[in-house]
Structures are given as structure tokens and as C-alpha cells.
Amino acid sequence: MTDTVGAYRTAVNPLRCDVIEELDWPSSYTGAEGAYVTADGDQRYLDMIAEFGAAVLGHRHPRVVRALSDALHGGSPFIVPIGVPALAGELAQRLCELAGGRIERAYFCTGGSEAVENAMKFAVAASGGRSEFVSFEGGYHGLTPGPLALAGHDYWRTPLPGWSPPGRHRVPFGDVAAVERVLAGREVAAVLVEPVQGIGGARPWPDDALRSLAERCAAHGTLLICDEVLTGLGRTGSWFAFQQAGIDPDIVVTSKALSGGVVPVAAVLMSRAVHESVYASPAAATVHSSTFEGHLLGMAAGLAVLEVLAEQDLLARAASLGERLRSGLEELKGARAVTGVRGRGLLLAFQVAGIDAPDDPDGAGTCMDLLMSRGVLVYQAAHDPTWLKLTPPLTLTDAQADEFLGAVRDSLADLSAYHED
Ligand SMILES: Cc1ncc(COP(=O)(O)O)c(C=O)c1O
């Protein structure tokens, strides 16, 4: 049998293996079904991470598995060099309907970073060649060069110290006046915003601030790109999180939930005007493309996920279950070590006080380990590891939500012993 970890250590990333070993985290997964994963033999975990939020229907949802099996065994090629890929038009139409407003076209690719990279290219074209961008502290848009330059935290530039492409402006989270100052003095192609920051720790933009951001962009001829790689397709209780503020962005990027995490796929959704700035004439009809664009498996999974989300009314479920979890966590505030709860729908985070200093992430880290020892997986928000982040499947049951809350309660009780030592 292959030594999964040994091979990974040899040929992929030895340091990652060292860290996992030192922290005594599970390393080798053998099962994933519904809201649970199994690792290192028979250790079962309630998975409140759910593939970084991609497993929106839980692991191996039968409808998605069936759609993929049909596509695998069906007649169409997976990639279509001459002609149009099967199912891509249907999925694009559906996504554009769901996004609404001015969104009329979709471009498909294979992951969040690539989608943001593409959105930046479309924005430069649509703004008549402007090349500057604004993004926000705490934001995260991926790690290929385009999105990396817009990261809201310097950690991600560790391998490239001092690397900073010109014309990239990072402004404080939620500070529309600061955006206005940049837009007034520069030729900015687009502002990139996560309506609810994910890696920033489930931090939502206030609706009125998002509306005034959209207004300022429109006033300066700057495009607004909503990065919904994590929030898109139901997680926050609406199809897209921007819809809760009633804004009408030029470009929307979405990925994780699109295939339920089963196939790497992403979509750049955009207005007709943005699209036509790239595909400007018949001679330029294929000027932007990629080998895996519209890959059959991604399209099949996407259509199945959208059907299940709608049929099972999982957007409403995300909202109501989010409230149940939020109020359960709120009850643990105060005497316990929980110092904050925030987020929207099923993108939530709770903050845990440090053991010796209130803002030390060791409290959250210890709480994460205590939860793991009780068979529950959560993760620390990379940009502020005092927050523990939750991105569970939208199919989580009430009983599973209560199982999670019970484990948090018990872990916090254990943690209080550390605080008292
Ligand atoms: C908001 C947001 N944008 C972009 C990305 C990058 O996506 P990927 O990791 O698929 O490249 C992520 C990934 O977590 C994300 O959360």
C-alpha cells in the first residue's frame, strides 16, 4: 500500500508534514460522507470545515456523484477544442439568472485564484486599459501573482519579500472614504471586495457601506468585482452575498461551492459590457480561453449542485441554521472564553480569548485542538487566528449543529482550566 504521508513528504511538501506531525493533527483521510470525514484509521470527525466551504452539500452528495458518473460514462468529450463544451451554456445561463442585475455572461475556469486573475484581466480591458486596483485589509483573493498582489495581509508574500507590483492599493476594511481618496486621484480599473471576508474571519461588510462602495465605483468609472469564491451559491443565505446589500456589481467571481468541492471549477460572471470588451470582434472570439474551460465534469457537477440547493431550499437552511449556531455560540460568551461571534449564514467565526493575553491566538489554537480531540474539525482564520472559522455543509442537521455546540461547550470548559493555571 502507498505510504500517503511519506510520498507527500518526499515529493510535495515536507514542512507541511512536519507541522501536522508536531501538532498531532490527522494526516491521512480514508472516508468522507455527508457531514463527516474519517482519518488515520477509524477516527471520525464532524467536519465544520467541509473542504474550505466547498462541500456545500456535504461530502459525496449522491446527486452530484450520479451527475459525474453520467458525465463520465456519457458521450460528450471532456474538453472540446473545436465546437462548444456540453452543459457550459446551460450552467452559465443558470448562474447569470441567479446573480441577476447586469450579469449576463460567464467564463469558466478551474479555481478561485485563476478566476480572480481572469476577472482582473477583464476589468483592465473593460476600463479602457486602466491597470490599478484597490483591495481591503484582511481580504484574500488567492495566491497566483494577480490576486496575491491584492492580498490584505503580508503573510502571503513571505516568499517574495519586497515584491509589490505598482498600482495596487490596500485600504482599511470597510473604509469607503479611503477608497474614494484613491479613486479620485488614480486611474483604477476595479475595486475587489469580499462581501463577507472569509480568511479575514467571517467578517461581513455592513450593507450600507457596500452600497456606498458600489456608488463610489460607479461615479469614478471603476468596476466593482465581488469575490464570492467562498460566499457564492448559498453559504450566506442568499445565492450571492452581495445581493443582501442590493448592489449590482460588474463582475462576480465564484468557485468553491460550484461543484460541491468534487471537481475544480470556478466562474467569472460579468456584465455584457465587460464581456464584450474582451471578445470585441469575431476575430477576437477566442482571444481568451483555457484548456480546461467548461470541462464536462465541472459543468455537470455545477448543474447538479444548483438543482439540489434550490430543491432543498438550502439557502433558507443556511440562514436558519446559521442563526441556531450563532445564538448557541453567543450563549457561551462572557464567563466562558468566547469573546466574539460574527459572520453570515453558514460562514461564521467565534473568537476565543488568549490564555495569558486576551489577543493571543493560543486560546483559539488550544480550543481547536480540544475540539479535534472530541471529533470536531474547525480552523483558525489565517488573517486573525484568534477567530475559529466555521464553513459547514448547508445540509448539516439540527442534531449535528447541537453536537458541535456541545463539543464547543465542553472544550471551553476544559480551556478554562488553562486560563486558571
Ligand atoms: C474569497 C476567496 N477568493 C479567492 C480564493 C482563492 O481560491 P483558490 O484557493 O481556489 O485559488 C479563496 C480561497 O480560499 C477565497 O476564499
Tens-digit pLDDT profile for residues 104-160: 999 999 999 999 999 999 999 999 999 999 999 999 999 999 999 999 999 999 999
What digits encode the pLDDT tens for the residues 37-89?
999 889 999 999 999 999 999 999 999 999 999 999 997 999 999 999 999 99
**Separation of CA 5 and ligand 1 centre (Å):** 25
Specify the pLDDT at position 420: 65
- What's the whole-number mean pLDDT along residues 374-389? 97
| Nearest Cα residue to atom 3 of ligand 1 | 141
**Separation of CA 347 and ligand 1 centre (Å):** 14
The one-letter code for the residue type at 378 is V
- Report the atom number in ligand 1 closest to the C-alpha of 253: 3
**Separation of CA 111 and ligand 1 centre (Å):** 8
Residue 341 in contact with residue 201, Cβ under 8 Å? no
Specify the pLDDT at position 147: 98
Ligand 1 site, CB within 6 A: 52, 111-113, 116, 140-142, 194, 198-199, 227, 229-230, 255
**Separation of CA 261 and ligand 1 centre (Å):** 13
Whether the pLDDT of residue 23 is over 90: the answer is yes
Specify the pLDDT at position 1: 66
Quote the CA–CA distance of 386 and 270 in Å, as a whole number: 36
Q: What percent of the chain has pLDDT over 90?
A: 92
Question: Ligand 1: which of 49, 140, 194 to mutate, most ligand atoms within 8 Å of CB?
Answer: 140
**Separation of CA 230 and ligand 1 centre (Å):** 7
CA-based nearest residue to 265, from 234, 236, 235, 303: 303
Quote the CA–CA distance of 263 and 172 in Å, as a whole number: 35
Given pLDDT bands bounded at 50, 70 and 90, which one contains residue 335?
low
- The mean predicted confidence, pLDDT, of the chain is 96
Residue with the bigger pLDDT between 421 and 251: it is 251
Grid cell at residue 406 = 456541545
Quote the CA–CA distance of 375 and 397 in Å, as a whole number: 16
Given pLDDT bands bounded at 50, 70 and 90, which one contains residue 416?
confident
Residue 294 in contact with residue 268, Cβ under 8 Å? no
**Separation of CA 131 and ligand 1 centre (Å):** 22
Please report the DSSP string for 409-421 in residue order.
HHHHHHHHHHHH-
- Report the atom number in ligand 1 closest to the C-alpha of 111: 10
Q: What percent of the chain has pLDDT over 70?
A: 99
CA-based nearest residue to 326, from 254, 408, 231, 214: 408
Question: Ligand 1: which of 56, 141, 228 to mutate, most ligand atoms within 8 Å of CB?
Answer: 141
- What's the whole-number mean pLDDT along residues 263-282? 97
Question: Ligand 1: which of 229, 233, 383 to mutate, most ligand atoms within 8 Å of CB?
Answer: 229
What does the DSSP 8-state code read for residue 281? S
| Nearest Cα residue to atom 16 of ligand 1 | 230
Degrees, nearest 5: CA angle 56-60-66? 110
Whether the pLDDT of residue 334 is over 80: the answer is no
**Separation of CA 113 and ligand 1 centre (Å):** 6
Whether the pLDDT of residue 419 is over 80: the answer is no
What digits encode the pLDDT tens for the residues 246-272?
999 999 999 999 999 999 999 999 999
Listed in order, strand segments (DSSP E) in 23-131 are 29-33, 36-39, 43-47, 103-109
| Nearest Cα residue to atom 10 of ligand 1 | 112
- What's the whole-number mean pLDDT along residues 179-205? 97
Quote the CA–CA distance of 374 and 413 in Å, as a whole number: 13
| Nearest Cα residue to atom 7 of ligand 1 | 112
Grid cell at residue 44 = 471520525
Whether the pLDDT of residue 225 is over 70: the answer is yes
Specify the pLDDT at position 303: 98
